[in-house]
Amino acid sequence: MPINPESVGTTGGPSSRSWTSKDALLYAVGVGAGTSELQFTTENTKDVAQRVLPTFAVIIGGGGIPMQAVGSFNPALMVHGEQGIELLDEIPPDGEIESTGRIAAIWDKGSAAVLEFESESVNKATGKPLLRTRSVLFCRGEGGWGGERGPSERITFPDAEPTHQATYATREDQALTYRLSGDRNPLHSDPSFAALGGFDKPILHGLCTYGFTGRALLHELCGGDPARFRAMNARFSKPVMPGDVLTVSMWAGGGEALFRTTNQAGDVVIDQGRCRYEA
């Protein structure tokens, strides 16, 4: 069955997902956290309680989406277009959530379909909402049914120097660590598979780049305190290669910030970023 635009509004779930302290630690290392961030990379450092990076939400959240209602599309022609997270409470080092999801929108771009999904997760230990996620998929070759094209607004970044900026180097083997958090797509590990996609070598996971970006926002805007981190949303604009150097530029004020991430050549790899935080 092709893409079914009538599925908009369909809900799914609930689905459960649990995680351990080790899962959170592995994720932190996978997105570049190291010896200067022991609260995220260790669980037994003297006088340092383990905490969880806010972008871990992309690993545990997103459940309950009724994908079967969307119809069919070629996964080889699908790319992750945007990702958003909203933290309603601080993620604990271990726990279990129950998630419900919905198909929020399906847009017809002519040569492609854009699928938008939303999910909300409740902490089973407290019964309170913990986080929300938003994902947008761009499916090439699936448009053309005459539907609405959807919104096309773009952020205009200030014509001024960033108020905050952070630069992180990714490792040549970064994807091999990140994949252990769940995304085993060989595009990120197998040179022969990457070549089929037109790449000289395996590329970094988009959500790994998202995690590096989230670390920069956390440390620059929230003083490294996850309890102050509220939300982030951004578009993926260009693949990142393991070993690339990433610079996150932020224009912040009043608990909100615009941001984008560039590589060492100045190419924008994450764009149209918005963040909310407790100032």
β-pair partners for 262:
247, 268
- How many whole angstroms from its chain centre is CA 143? 25
Active-site annotation holds for 188: yes
Mapping DSSP onto H, E and C, the string for 84-145 reads: EEEECCCCCCCEEEEEEEEEEEEEECCCEEEEEEEEEEEECCCCEEEEEEEEEEEEECCCCC
Residue 206 designated active-site? yes
DSSP 3-state assignment of 163? coil
> Residue 240 — left, alpha, or beta (φ > 0 → left; ψ -120 to 50 → alpha)?
beta
Q: Identify the DSSP state of 168.
A: E
**Cα 270–279–58 angle (5° rounding)?**
40
Neighbours of 24 (CB within 10 A): 25
95 is catalytic: no
Terminal CA-to-CA distance of the chain, rounded, Å?
48
- Dihedral Cα 67, 68, 69, 71, nearest 10 deg: 100
Active-site residue, selected from the candidate residues 60, 91, 203, 270? 203
15: Cβ–Cβ under 8 A, 6 or more apart, which residues? 63, 64, 98, 99, 100
Active-site option among 23, 183, 244, 271: 183
* 8-state DSSP, 70: T
Q: Which of these is catalytic: 3, 32, 65, 188?
A: 188
Which of the residues 206, 211, 214, 273 is marked catalytic? 206
Tokens representing residue 7 in the block: 């599925």
Distance CA 224, CA 228 (A): 9
Catalytic positions, written as ranges? 183, 188, 203, 206
